[in-house]
A and B are shown apart, each in its own frame.
Chain A
Amino acid sequence: MSSSALLELNQIVKSFPGVKALKGVGFSVTSGEVHGLVGENGAGKSTIIKILMGVHQKDSGSIKLEGKEVIIENVIQAGRLGLAAVYQDLNLAMDLSIGENFFIGSLPRKKNGFVNWKYIYEETEKTLNDLNIKVDPKKKISELSAAMQEMVAIAKTVHRNAKLIIFDEPTALLTNEEVEILFNIIATLKKRGVSIIYISHRLEEIFRVCDRVTIFKDGEFVDSLDVKETSEDDLINKMVGRNITEMYNIGHQKCGDEVLSVKNLSRIGHFKNISFNVHSGEIFGFFGLVGSGRTEIVRTIFGADKLSGGKMELKGRKYIPKSPIEAIKNGIGLLPENRKEQGLALALSVKHNINLSSYRDINKFSFVDKKEENKRADTYIDKMAIKTPSSRQLVINLSGGNQQKVVIGKWLCNDSSIFIFDEPTVGIDVGAKREIYILMEELAASGKAVILISSYLPEVMGIADKIAVIYEGNMMAIVDKKDFSEELILKHASGIK
């Protein structure tokens, strides 16, 4: 096997400050093989790709290409070795033509020094034809559909004589028909002897296009299998097979009255017919892949995005938020997905950020009640155990965990009764994570309702009472705590009823 291997990875180790991302993984890809790579978020898939593409350097281990050991120091070198990747955010210059993109950085010239456009477009057309992609090479990238842009990005790597192309979630943006076109291109590439590493959360695709599949879990190699000798259940088992730690299971009381009821909520292009009820004292989880529409659903409930259909009721009263202002007045607080871009005014003080939503309540004739402002800041710094030298410290100088607590403090300070937490523990260390879990439990125990969105399954399963599983904007199921199983939820999340 290894004698005919195009790429051979052995005992690759990579550490980042505080995390061992890869703990000695390895697999091999033969010429003309489509090799699937699967694992949960954080399993180490993107790290290995970044090492292959020269974005990161491995700490130890070996990479052999056609039997020879290679060192990949940067992206340009990866390209010279014949390694290429097609990412979701495509590396194309949007305002240039397809042809220019193919030759970018090395435009062929005529004898007089001017660009040889004729050659560029002829060559580009040839490559596109070979792959059965029907598009005019003179068209600008920005004029193409998202799917066509992706095809062009793939063709570009072929044009640059890539021997191995890495596809990272290539179908995320494609419709079913476009996926078929993509699979045809993959078949063509295979025939030409190009090898492919195919990464996807959608397991059914792995079985459609891959010859073999490698499973990573928590930075470790689990197995490499022939797809014919395995099944989806088997793969999910191997991806998951982990004990849920005592991080969770803090336990809280039974839930009370219904506080939020959502019926057939839709937003065109994002999600449709979403219905669920949230009770006081409940932690309601949302699980789904990134881009499945979870964030859009809660943003709509919060009034940050406009809804295009459906009904909502808050404590039995009709509720149609036109802006976050109404949501906040009704006691809803949102801890956004990206705290630095959406949750915090980084250049301002902890005090200012904690009070950000409350100034309408703590003023006399529009003059800020500074005594109350200070009191509230100190109360929540204390209550949340925010590590800061003083309430005047700028938020930018705090750690990620403490920044997140400042955002939570803002909503506590505003006396919210429904808390929406969108990916609250991303980029936060383990200790702070645990504190945030305890806080959510305390909120629920004190009769508040908590909506938790997470891409990290053990987290949602650990603390949610119910999990709504979202796949491509559709609600696949609402699973009760007694029925929680990773297999079941992952199945729903990859579109299987």
Chain B
Amino acid sequence: MKKLINKIKEGKLAEGNLILILIALIIILAIFSPKFLTANNIRNLVRQTSIIGVVAIGMTFVIISGGIDLSVGSILGVASIVSSMLMAGGMNIGLALLITLVISTILGVVNGIIVFDGKVPPFIATLGMMTAARGIVMLVSDARMIAGLPKSFTNFAQKTIIGLPSLFFVWLLVIIVAYIITTQTVIGRNLFAFGSNPEAARLSGINIRMLTYFIYGASGFTCAIAGILMTSRLSNGIPTAGSGYELDAIAAAVVGGASLSGGAGTIVGTVLGALLIAIIRNGGNLLGINPFILQISVGVLIVASVMIDQRRKASSK
């Protein structure tokens, strides 16, 4: 918290504005809807946000590097089907989840290989992966739900710890690890350098090949976590799981101040962006606002936050 306050003071306005908007929104909703600040609603809100929130963290790595990952939803689907098929087949839960994490991470690294070694623009590479991975999911699952998962696994998502859903704590763990990587480690420094100027990064001796693999692999890894969480929450492996998540994840990162041209973005910003979008939807529902109007407002929010960001940058030059 102290860090956040310091950052606002330092004039990192992208996050500062977001925090102010979030607080204002929470106050308004608390006044107009008595249900908003109830424990039940907060649990619900957090549970809804956690899964997409995890995907958005991986997406933030990719966006900071100047790339984009459209395949997150499909890789999430792969994770859902792979984990549920293995567990329904009687495999040890821990081993099943480990295999799921490995497979999804490999799919992410394949994205990285196509982008770096194949020199295919990230948009196209991951568009291909998005389409192909979803096809694999449908083929393997025969486009059917996979039931018969062990109770101990499906119970996880229903659990609460000190009143908050278990899903939230997984998200929190991902946030903390990602925050540490981006702000404290060499990989984090190199990630920003690469996103800001790939050629300068290369000529400064940064191993940009391994970095690219890491970035897309990390995105695949977070997709696996999200896919496992979703499978637990829905008690079934769902072949269509994660459809459309790529756009929500990009929206969260962009509202949070990440720049699609690379070199800029923060984990905290993405978390705030994801929360902001979720609260608009949740609060709007509570107030009985037409969901289509909410959709329009989220669209406006995405564009407006980037426009404000551009203005801020132009004025600081």
Query: Of A323, A342, A359, A363, which is within 8 A of B200 by CB?
Result: A342
B186 at interface, CB cutoff 8 A: yes
Contact flags B181-215 to A (C-beta < 8 A → 1, else 0): 00011111110110011011111111100000000
User: Quick check: B202 and A360 within 8 Å, CB to CB?
Assistant: no
- Total A-B contacts with CB atoms under 8 angstroms apart: 81
Q: Which of B201, B207, B317 contacts A345 (CB 8 A)?
A: B201
A347 touches B204 (CB 8 A): no
Chain B contact surface mostly: helix
Shortest Cβ gap from B70 to chain A (Å):
24
Closest to A336 in B: B203
A173 at the interface (CB under 8 A from B): no
B52 within 8 A of A: no
Contacts of B202 in A (CB 8 A): 304, 323-324
CA–CA, A481 and B193, complex, Å: 40
A440 within 8 A of B: no
Interface contact B193-A348, CB-CB below 8 Å: yes
* Complex Cα spacing A327 to B186, Å: 20
* CB <8 Å contact, B189 and A325: no
Q: Which of A209-217, A233-241, A350-358 lies at the interface?
A: A350-358
Contacts of A346 in B (CB 8 A): 196-197
A344 contacts chain B at the CB level, 8 A cutoff: yes
Contact: A360 with B203, CB < 8 Å?
no
CB neighbours of A328 from chain B (8 A):
204-205
A16 interface contact, C-beta 8 A: no
* Chain A residues closer than 8 Å to B200, beta-carbon distance: 336, 341-345, 356
Partner of B189, one of A304, A329, A368: A368
Q: Which of B186, B192, B204 has the most CB of A within 10 A?
A: B204
> Bound complex: CA of A61 vs CA of B199, how far in Å?
44
Per the bound structure, the CA–CA distance linking A328 and B206 in Å amounts to: 10
Bound CA span A370–B185, Å: 10
| Given A347-B263, A359-B186, A368-B185, also A396-B204 (CB < 8 A) | no
Q: Provided the pairs A348-B263, A368-B184 are in contact, do residues A341 and B197 lie with their beta carbons within 8 angstroms? A: yes
| Cα separation A360 to B196 with both chains bound (whole Å) | 19
Q: Which residues of A contact B207 (CB under 8 A)?
A: 325
Decide yes or no whether A176 CB sits under 8 A from chain B.
no
Annotate A410-434 by CB proximity to B: 1 below 8 A, 0 otherwise.
1000100000000000000000000
User: A347, B186: Cβ atoms under 8 Å?
Assistant: no
CB neighbors of B among A341-389 (8 A): 341-348, 352, 355-357, 359-360, 363, 366-368, 370
Find the B residue at minimum CB distance from A395: B196
Decide if B184 touches A367 in the complex (CB within 8 Å): yes
Partner among B189, B197, B199 whose Cβ is within 8 Å of the Cβ of A359:
B189
Q: A341-B197, A345-B196, A396-B317 are in contact. Are A366 and B203 (CB under 8 A)?
A: no
Check B264 for interface membership: any CB of A closer than 8 A.
yes
Which residue of A is nearest B197, CB measured?
Answer: A345
A43 at interface by CB-CB < 8 Å: no
Q: How far is the CB of B100 from chain A (nearest CB, A)?
A: 26
Q: Interface size class for chain A?
A: 20 to 34
Measured CA separation A342–B186 after assembly (Å): 20
| Bound form: Cα–Cα A397–B186 in Å | 25
Taking a contact as CB atoms under 8 Å apart, the answer to whether A345 and B184 are in contact is no
B residues within 8 A CB of A357? 204-205
B205 touches A329 (CB 8 A): yes
- Known A-B contacts A345-B200, A396-B317; A368 and B263 likewise in contact (beta carbons under 8 Å): no
For residue A302, CB closer than 8 A to chain B, the reply is yes
Contact A325/B205 with A345-B192, A345-B200 known, Cβ cut-off 8 Å: yes
Q: Is the CB of B196 within 8 A of A356?
A: no
Q: Indicate whether A51 reaches chain B with its CB closer than 8 angstroms.
A: no
Q: Chain B's nearest CB lies how many Å from the CB of A338?
A: 9
Chain B residues numbered 224-263 whose CB sits less than 8 Å from any CB in chain A: 263
- Interface: A334 (CB within 8 A): yes
Q: Are B203 and A304 in contact (CB under 8 A)?
A: yes
Smallest CB separation, B133 vs chain A (Å): 30
Tell whether A355 pairs with B189 under 8 Å between CB atoms, given A324-B205, A368-B184.
yes
Docked CA distance A414–B187 (Å): 18
List A contacts of B204 (CB < 8 A): 324, 328, 356-357, 410
**How far is it, in angstroms, between the C-alpha of A356 and the C-alpha of B201 when the chains are bound?**
8
Q: Nearest Cβ in chain A — how far from B219, in angstroms?
A: 20
Per the bound structure, the CA–CA distance linking A390 and B125 in Å amounts to 40
Q: Is the CB of B203 within 8 A of A348?
A: no
CB 8 Å contact bits of B91-133 with A (1 = contact, 0 = none): 0000000000000000000000000000000000000000000
Residue of A nearest to B201 (CB): A345
Residue of B nearest to A359 (CB): B186
Taking a contact as CB atoms under 8 Å apart, the answer to whether B205 and A342 are in contact is no
- Is A324's CB under 8 angstroms from B185's CB? no
**Whole-angstrom distance from the CB of A325 to the nearest CB of chain B?**
5
Q: Which residues of B contact A334 (CB under 8 A)?
A: 203
B205 surroundings in chain A (CB, below 8 A): 324-325, 327-329, 357, 360, 414
Measured CA separation A359–B201 after assembly (Å): 12
Contacts beyond the supplied A325-B207, A357-B205: 11 A-B pairs with Cβ under 8 Å: A325-B205, A325-B206, A328-B204, A344-B200, A347-B263, A347-B264, A348-B193, A348-B196, A363-B186, A366-B185, A396-B317
5 closest Cβ contacts across the A-B interface? A345-B196, A328-B205, A356-B204, A359-B186, A347-B263
Q: Return 18 A-B CB contacts under 8 Å, by A number.
A: A324-B202, A324-B203, A324-B204, A324-B205, A325-B206, A327-B205, A329-B205, A336-B203, A342-B197, A342-B200, A344-B197, A345-B193, A348-B192, A352-B189, A356-B204, A356-B206, A360-B186, A396-B317
